[in-house]
Amino acid sequence: MNEQDKPARYSVVIPVYNSRAIIGETVDRTVAFFEGRGWDYEIIAVNDGSRDGSWDVLREKAGGNRRIMAVNLLRNYGQHTAVFCGLQKSTGDCVITMDDDLQNPPEEIAHLVEKMQDGHDVVFGRFREKKHPGYRRAGSRMIGLINRRIFHQPRDLVVGNFRIMRRDVVDRICAYRSRYPYINGLALMFSADPANVVVEHEERHAGKSQYGPLKIAELCMRILFNYSAFPLRLACLLGVGIAAISFLLGAFYFCRALFVGSRVPGWTSTIVLLSFFNGVSLLILSMLGEYSIRVLTQTSSANVYHVREEINTDV
């Protein structure tokens, strides 16, 4: 890689949650990687409401190195919101995001940087061999299907949390108004030339993954209900279908009463009126739902997170 082609400054964003046993080593190895190459850098570690003392480790690391910025969020907002906070705090020409558990070895950042020199504006690490359990791999496939439908993710592209983005992409992500940011989707939405590069993926060094089946389901719901009108439109189509059946049923009993008659006086008129008004109600609710999603999309709250404490944010 040509040294003159490197961006002037790199930012590394690390979301941290209950990683006291490993986050110190993660930060130290990241620092050693950049200082060993003489690259200009900053590390932004965002504590996402950890309850195990992770913030104490981050405070100590930031106190000993002005290039390390530590941000303590008020509560647990989720990994993507913590990364979004780090992106907003970053100042680098290129921003790297990685997990706190050393499954993304900091030394693999070199591959991301090298691939970006080909002109790509976003590069995702593609693991040579995943060390995740089976349910995580199944969840990744499900999210991949959603990404292809909503964000038009190319079929040959694999997205993940180990990535590098140019400043213009990061700025577009930070300007996007959403209370529930999904970084992979936003990176796909605001990049012109995403790419993959093969990187190593190691076993988790300590603790256990916070991404269980419920977290994966929650992420799927976040994507579907905040970046797509598909669930609402599905409900609208269901409402229209039921309304159509109600109208047809009312017409059937009305015609039957005219030509055949009814054994129970008033039964036909009751069924016809109920079918008609229920159908009209469902149609109105469907239309109101369609308008609601449009209003919600345009008026999402800008208060994505709240910060409790910051260290070295004035550097």
Q: What is the domain count for the chain?
A: 2
Of the pLDDT bands very low, low, confident and very high (cuts 50, 70, 90), residue 264 is low
**Mean pLDDT score, 208-229:** 72
Q: How many whole angstroms separate alpha carbon 115 and alpha carbon 110?
A: 9
- Where does residue 266 rank: exposed (0-12), middle (13-18), buried (19+ CB within 10 A)? exposed
Reading the block at residue 40, the tokens are: 């200009």
**Mean pLDDT score, 27-54:** 96
Do the beta carbons of residue 65 and residue 41 sit within 8 Å? no
258 lies in some domain: yes
The enclosing domain of 109 has a CATH number of 3.90.550.10
On whether both 206 and 245 belong to a single domain, the answer is no
- Where does residue 65 rank: exposed (0-12), middle (13-18), buried (19+ CB within 10 A)? middle
Q: How many whole angstroms separate alpha carbon 73 and alpha carbon 171?
A: 21
Do the beta carbons of residue 47 and residue 15 sit within 8 Å? no
**Mean pLDDT score, 259-288:** 68
On whether both 207 and 69 belong to a single domain, the answer is yes
On whether both 11 and 130 belong to a single domain, the answer is yes
The pLDDT, as a whole number, for residue 248 is: 79
Domain endpoint, select from 228, 243, 262: 228
On whether both 162 and 280 belong to a single domain, the answer is no
Evaluate if residue 19 carries a pLDDT over 70. Answer: yes
Q: How many whole angstroms separate alpha carbon 80 and alpha carbon 216?
A: 12
On whether both 15 and 145 belong to a single domain, the answer is yes
DSSP-based three-state secondary structure for 51: coil
7 lies in some domain: yes
Reading the block at residue 180, the tokens are: 């529930």
Residues 6+ apart with CB under 8 A from 91: 9, 11, 42
The pLDDT, as a whole number, for residue 247 is: 72
Evaluate if residue 193 carries a pLDDT over 80. Answer: yes
75: containing domain: 3-228
Q: 55-64, 65-74, 159-168, 257-266 — which is least confidently predicted? A: 257-266
Q: How many whole angstroms separate alpha carbon 107 and alpha carbon 109?
A: 5
Q: What is the DSSP string of 226-276?
A: HH-SHHHHHHHHHHHHHHHHHHHHHHHHHHHHHHT--SSTTHHHHHHHHHH
On whether both 224 and 249 belong to a single domain, the answer is no
The pLDDT, as a whole number, for residue 1 is: 46
On whether both 223 and 234 belong to a single domain, the answer is no
**Mean pLDDT score, 259-267:** 67
On whether both 209 and 281 belong to a single domain, the answer is no
The one-character DSSP state at 38 is T
Percent of the chain at pLDDT above 90? 48
On whether both 113 and 56 belong to a single domain, the answer is yes
Evaluate if residue 135 carries a pLDDT over 60. Answer: no
Do the beta carbons of residue 222 and residue 149 sit within 8 Å? no
239 lies in some domain: yes
304 lies in some domain: no
The pLDDT, as a whole number, for residue 274 is: 73
The pLDDT, as a whole number, for residue 291 is: 65
On whether both 45 and 154 belong to a single domain, the answer is yes
Of the pLDDT bands very low, low, confident and very high (cuts 50, 70, 90), residue 210 is low
- Where does residue 250 rank: exposed (0-12), middle (13-18), buried (19+ CB within 10 A)? buried
On whether both 171 and 275 belong to a single domain, the answer is no
On whether both 192 and 265 belong to a single domain, the answer is no
Domain endpoint, select from 202, 228, 254: 228
307 lies in some domain: no
Q: 34-48, 106-120, 152-166, 235-249 — which is least confidently predicted? A: 235-249
Mean of pLDDT over the chain: 83
Evaluate if residue 172 carries a pLDDT over 60. Answer: yes
